[in-house]
Amino acid sequence: MILSYQKNFLFIHVPKTAGTSIRAALMPYSERPDLLWENKLLSRIGINVNHIGPYRRRRFRGHSRAVDLQKNLPASVYDGLFKFAFVRNPWDLLVSLYSYIPSRPRHRMASRVAAMTFDEFAREWSQRPELSQRSFLYDTDGRCLMNYVGHFETLRSDFEDVCRHIGITADLGHANGSRRGDYREMYSPELMRLVGDRLADDIETFGYDFDEGVKSRGSVRRAA
């Protein structure tokens, strides 16, 4: 996550959506890289955080969900931010995770995933609640908390839209890309349907199709 008072925006980092590159591009405008102490935010709006109480030392993670930030930030601050995020084709995201996890020896699942076939991995991981991209951006009542949701597949053009809206110039560099083959080659017809059923919420919400990829680009909208 990146929060900027200077440019009045909040970036929610959904895992495996080029968030590392986006964070790097936005860092010059950030209050603090990766970890944001609520103390700093609250002190800026006149709340004394040195007293013990509900506002004392609350830390947010790099992959914080929008609903958690909405609950923990003052409404006067949260509501005034331009909130945006990027999402990715769920079928492609699983292939990316399958490649990424074994490449990180310190990842607690590295050795286990390295020993799995992709079919085994996809069947297991497509059931994990944390794989839901929608859960990062929507509240429990089904309301989108973002002003803009861009797509990994149209990353550069969508990021340019965001930059124009918040009034900055930022370079994504290589966008943390890895050269892999076509994700569709990893799927049997049966596995494609199974993953499609399990991740249907993300697929339908963000406009994805197994063969066509993303069917619509991100757009600026008014958050609920």
Q: What is the pTM of this model?
A: 0.82
Please state the domain extents for the chain. Answer: 2-214
Average pLDDT over residues 162-189: 86
CB atoms closer than 10 angstroms to residue 171: 10
Strands (E), the chain: 2-4, 9-12, 36-37, 59-60, 82-87, 148-151, 208-209, 213-214
Residue-wise pLDDT for 76-121, tens only, equals: 889 999 999 999 999 999 999 999 999 988 888 999 999 999 999 9
59 falls in which pLDDT band (50, 70, 90)?
Answer: very low
Statement: residue 218 has pLDDT above 70: no
Statement: residue 224 has pLDDT above 70: no
Q: Per the structure block, which two tokens stand in for 167?
A: 């009034």
Q: Per the structure block, which two tokens stand in for 106?
A: 């310190």
Average pLDDT over residues 198-220: 85
- Write the CATH number of the domain with boundaries 2-214: 3.40.50
Exposure of 169 by Cβ count < 10 A (0-12 exposed, 13-18 middle, 19+ buried)? exposed
Instruction: Give the pairing type, strands 82-87 and 9-12.
Output: parallel
Statement: residue 199 has pLDDT above 50: yes
175 falls in which pLDDT band (50, 70, 90)?
Answer: low
57 falls in which pLDDT band (50, 70, 90)?
Answer: very low
